[in-house]
Amino acid sequence: MLKHLVIYASETGNTKKLAHEIYSSLPVPLKDKEIVDVRTWHGQFDAENYFVGFWSNRGSCSLEIIDILSSLHDKNVALFGTCGMGNTDEYFKSLEQNARVWISDDNYFVDSYFCQGKMPPEVRDKYESYRGLCEDSKLDMMLNFYNDALEHPNRHDLLNARLFVDNCLTRIKELDLAFV
């Protein structure tokens, strides 16, 4: 059994970038950790600690991530991911809560980390196509989110991902000590 498994779903590469940063910051030998794109994972790995990442899909995670989260039992589970819209702590908390409902109660939820991620140009084109069909203020807000997201995840986001891992490992260690 591995010590850590980083498993993720990424449509545009943003969450993949976070996943690789999380994986590289895990301070264990390579034989004790693995990183897997959810689309290539067929249950071939098991681990004590799962770092599960996803891109925000209408405020939650995709079905493939739901399947992973629902299948875990007696594990330590941490969530991470990216979203193009809603770059606020409140929105990030809602992403956590919407994904946590799929984690069985026999697991230990460790923590979560979310940051903004750039969106493909087609999203901006779609927003622009709404001009004249919705309120300009709403459209301007959506375009501002799009523009703000263009540089994410950035170095600051990746540093925060490393801090997230440190925090998770501290919590897991404290949990292990509580059961000794």
- Is it the case that residue 178 has pLDDT exceeding 70? no
pLDDT in tens, 45-98: 999 999 999 998 778 899 999 999 999 999 999 999 999 877 788 999 999 999
pTM for the model stands at: 0.90
Higher pLDDT, 14 or 148: 14
pLDDT in tens, 155-170: 999 999 999 999 999 9
Share the mean pLDDT of the chain: 92
pLDDT computed for residue 103 by the predictor? 97
The 3-class SS string of the chain reads: CEEEEEEECCCCCHHHHHHHHHHHHCCCCHHHEEEEEHHHCCCCCCEEEEEEEEECECCECCHHHHHHHHHCCCCEEEEEEEECCCCCHHHHHHHHHHHHCCCCCCCEEEEEEEEECCCCHHHHHHHHHCECCECHHHHHHHHHHHHHHCCCCCHHHHHHHHHHHHHHHHHHHHHHHHCC
- Is it the case that residue 179 has pLDDT exceeding 70? no
Q: What percent of the chain has pLDDT over 70?
A: 98
pLDDT computed for residue 139 by the predictor? 86
pLDDT in tens, 105-124: 999 999 999 999 999 888 88
Q: Which of 29-33, 39-43, 155-159 has the lowest mean pLDDT?
A: 39-43
